């Protein structure tokens, strides 16, 4: 099963990714979390892990990977990295493992003037294309804010798109846009309403009548505080447990 977690900046994508990964691992699934966000550095801390080395390093670094990918775009028969992986055979130097969860990070932008993140986007696309999953495997892709990854079609072949919605107009609008972009491309779109209180929840639910609201997650001081302190999110959130149950 491949799940992409997407939505507006700061809506709680990484938080939900980390919590869902724990819930899935607790159910005995073999979980791979893929950090697709080239800018943020918090996900590994939310999982209580060290940061993995950038996966782009496996391909010789950004310059070498870019060269191969440009050649591929000029001639699509030239697969730049024509290997198949399973979760277990991903290059171990680029994967951090803890309690049944593996974390892989495509790559971060490190230096002023180093250029765009397009190579990371292309690598992500190729990784998912070449990742062969078993019945019990769950991939959770924590995406960068916005819709560029959808524009690239990185989620082709995914089963579920979790759209994390916080209580803001921008987030509500973006959730509609994402739903339209996914359209009939195979994945089921779910909405995860995050940072809700009772009053706001009623207002927000009005936007999602007839749609698949997979979870409503309350504003949680403990979650907020743990993230602020860079601590592992090891708390039980009942709505996340139900979300994990609903996916199998």
Ligand X SMILES: Nc1ncnc2c1ncn2[C@@H]1O[C@H](COP(=O)(O)OP(=O)(O)OP(=O)(O)O)[C@@H](O)[C@H]1O
Tell me the closest approach of the beta carbon of residue 23 to ligand X, in angstroms. Answer: 14
Q: Which is nearer to Mg ion, 32 or 69 (CB)?
A: 32
3-state secondary structure of 228: helix
Q: Which of residues 20-59 bind ligand X (CB under 6 A)?
A: 37, 40, 42
- Whether 226 contacts 233, CB under 8 Å: yes
Measure the CA dihedral 227/229/233/237, to 10°. -60
Of 105 and 122, which has the nearer Cβ to Mg ion?
Answer: 105
CB of 176 to ligand X, least distance (A): 18
CB of 7 to ligand X, least distance (A): 6
Residue from 14, 46, 66, 171 touching Mg ion (CB under 5 A): that is 14
Q: Binding ligand X by CB under 6 A: which of 1, 9, 185, 207? A: 9
x/- mask, Mg ion, residues 15-54, rule CB under 5 A, reads: -------------------------x--------------
Q: Decide whether 69 or 165 has the Cβ nearer to ligand X.
A: 165
CA distance to 16, 19, 136, 169, 225, per residue, from 241 (Å)? 11, 9, 17, 27, 21
Would you count residue 155 as binding ligand X (CB under 6 A)? no
DSSP string, 102-127: EEEE-----STT---SHHHHHHHHHH
Total residues belonging to the chain: 248
Q: Using alpha carbons only, give the angle 148, 107, 9 rounded to the nearest 5 degrees.
A: 40
Helix (H, G, I), strand (E, B) or coil at 49: coil
Residues that bind ligand X (rule: CB under 6 A) add up to a total of 19
Q: Using CB under 6 A as the criterion, which residues of the chain lie in contact with ligand X when the complex forms? A: 9-15, 37, 40, 42, 145, 194-195, 217, 219-220, 223-224, 227
């Amino acid at each position: 099963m491949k799940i992409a977690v997407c939505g507006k900046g700061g809506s709680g994508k990484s938080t939900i990714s980390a919590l869902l990964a724990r819930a899935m691992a607790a159910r005995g699934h073999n979980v791979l979390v893929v950090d697709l966000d080239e800018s943020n550095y918090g996900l590994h801390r939310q999982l209580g892990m060290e940061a993995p080395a950038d996966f782009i390093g496996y391909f010789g670094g950004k310059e070498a990977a870019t060269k191969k990918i440009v050649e591929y775009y000029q001639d699509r028969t030239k697969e730049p990295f024509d290997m198949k992986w399973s979760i277990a055979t991903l290059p171990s130097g680029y994967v951090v493992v803890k309690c049944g969860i593996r974390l892989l990070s495509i790559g971060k932008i490190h230096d002023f003037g180093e250029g765009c993140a397009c190579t990371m986007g292309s690598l992500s696309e190729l990784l998912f294309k070449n990742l062969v999953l078993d019945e019990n495997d769950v991939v959770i892709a924590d995406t960068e804010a916005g819709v560029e990854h959808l524009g690239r079609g990185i989620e082709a072949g995914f089963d579920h798109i979790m759209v994390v919605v916080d209580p803001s107009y921008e987030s509500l609008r973006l959730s509609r846009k994402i739903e339209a972009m996914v359209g009939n491309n195979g994945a089921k779109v779910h909405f995860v309403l995050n940072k809700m209180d009772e009053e706001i929840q009623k207002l927000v639910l009005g936007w999602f009548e007839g749609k698949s609201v997979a979870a409503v997650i309350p504003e949680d001081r403990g979650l907020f505080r743990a993230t602020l302190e860079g601590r592992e999110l090891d708390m039980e959130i009942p709505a996340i447990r139900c979300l994990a149950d609903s996916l199998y």
